[in-house]
Structure 1
């Protein structure tokens, strides 16, 4: 492609009618600018400017070139200015893959604060329990527990430490005795979850005094939905292993009873992860800063 700097230089000189003023505007010396115009005239084989000791005027060819070229440079400058506005006002779509719980407990509250301030940003959240390859699937970012994030990803903590809770309804525990140890769950109807990353039923991780137990209880119900596990526990259909923040209101109201609380320690919470800072869009960068967990 041809270099059009000389055409831009000509348009500036023709508008200013002065090499001195045009050179100051372009940030070059008058002699260098004069040489640029001479080279352009030689390339075109036409005289574009008439120079005198007092003024500079366009020839007929110069006037014609100015009428056709100058508006196009103005359009280019306007478009570049518009792009600058996009940088200052982030826009575009951010695609995120996340499990149901972080989508509800972390992303949704943040979006309530974030989106009204940035109406040109669209957020797409796909609920997926698998360990999705965000690069091959075309996602900008994903959300996982900290220990599940691949080492080659950049991870930003977006939530506090978490605890799980084993719960059942009062009506359920009228029929079945309260479990005192993880082993007692073998006599209960466990409402299970099946995750694609585990192949089978997701084990309930319980821990006390540095002793870890993986419980794989039996039951009539298996879901891959947090909401259905919670509603089934409220309906008295069994005991469920659910993130603590989702059941505390029901426990406070007496709709659920918590058991084995001393077997449910805290563990690191959710992280948002993405491939590289070099490829982050302004919209994603802004969202990350709004999601970043800064403690209480």
Structure 2
């Protein structure tokens, strides 16, 4: 049997990743019918179905997933090396895809990238806000931005921010209506503003620390968001207590718009890191973005 055409494998990978022939065709710059014929030709060559198709979605079969698990990393290595060769002219080219929480993106990523992007207009950045702990290889991200203890062990990680403290805050008007919590358990009696985590489709527990003791409190309330800034706004409007990065709320506390709650229980975590797979070391674009995030020159 002849070896499959590399373009056919790229087509299969794109359809599987997008779970849609329409989206994959747009990404590859081909017609949907042409893409469908390409995937069918690969299936015919191998003598088995690689994708299951319905009117609403596309998914890989067991054989298709096994093929992708084996081939996708190799295709990405080829892509990375081709980009590295293109960058021999000493200019960062291509698109660097980054996943980060909204707070990290606003606080540590976007402010540091603006100068680099102005200096190198040929460099493109795609910055996706996400609270899920994405597998950056599987999701085809070049760089992930997370707290240090959330970084996968097989990644290269560099610190881009100091240790981070998470604080509980409430508006004075909210705290006037009911007694402020004196213990972590008292939080269960309050209207708390929650953050939904997409990875496990759960609400984020509030992690608290005091005198070497660490506890997690699962709170409830009227509001659930997947965005820190909406949580902050709800807290400012007096809808309840919020658990947010301390630098995000500090100015509001100093101005009297918010007040600390259970301040002696605030927890501090390993600071934000940028991380990437080993294969991305050869990309000048990724190296320059990492250098910008660290605040050093590449």
Do the aligned partners of residues 193 and 84 (structure 1) sit closer, same or farther apart at CA in structure 2, a change above 3 Å counting? closer
Q: Does 1:288 align with 2:285?
A: no
1:167 maps to 2:146: no
Q: CA deviation digits over 1:179-238, x for unaligned, max 9?
A: 122111122101011102343211000010011121111211111111110110000000
**Corresponding residue to 1:97 among 79, 84, 99:** 99
Structure 1 Cα separation of the partners of residues 222 and 267 of structure 2: 27
1:154 corresponds to 2:153: no
Aligned twin of 1:18: none
Identify the match of residue 185 of structure 1 among 184, 187, 198: 187
- CA distance change for structure 1 residues 116 and 138 in 2, over 3 Å: closer, same or farther? same
Deviation of 1:156 after TM superposition, in Å, equals: 1.1
Matches within 5 A, 1:29-48: none
**196-205 or 234-243: bigger deviation:** 196-205
The TM-score, its normalising length taken from structure 2, stands at 0.67
The 1:292/1:160 distance shift into structure 2, 3 A limit, reads: same
Q: Which runs of 5+ in 2 are unaligned?
A: 1-84
Query: Could you tell me how far apart the structure 1 residues matched to 2:283 and 2:155 are?
Result: 16
Q: What root-mean-square deviation, in Å, do the aligned CA atoms of Structure 1 and Structure 2 show? A: 1.8
Aligned length: 212
Q: TM-score, normalised by structure 1?
A: 0.68
Which segments of 5 or more consecutive residues in structure 1 lack a partner in the other structure? 1-82
Q: Cα distance, 1:84 vs. partner?
A: 8.0
| Structure number, greater radius of gyration | 1
Partners of 1:272 and 1:285 lie apart in 2 by 11
CA displacement 1:6-50 (0-9 Å, x = unmatched): xxxxxxxxxxxxxxxxxxxxxxxxxxxxxxxxxxxxxxxxxxxxx
C-alpha separation in 2, matches of 1:102 and 1:278: 21
- Post-superposition shift, 1:122? 1.1
Task: Give CA deviations for 1:38-95 in whole Å, capped at 9, x if unaligned.
Answer: xxxxxxxxxxxxxxxxxxxxxxxxxxxxxxxxxxxxxxxxxxxxx8886322222111
Q: Which residue of 2 aligns with 1:134?
A: 136
Structure 1 outlier segments of 4+, above 4 Å = 83-86
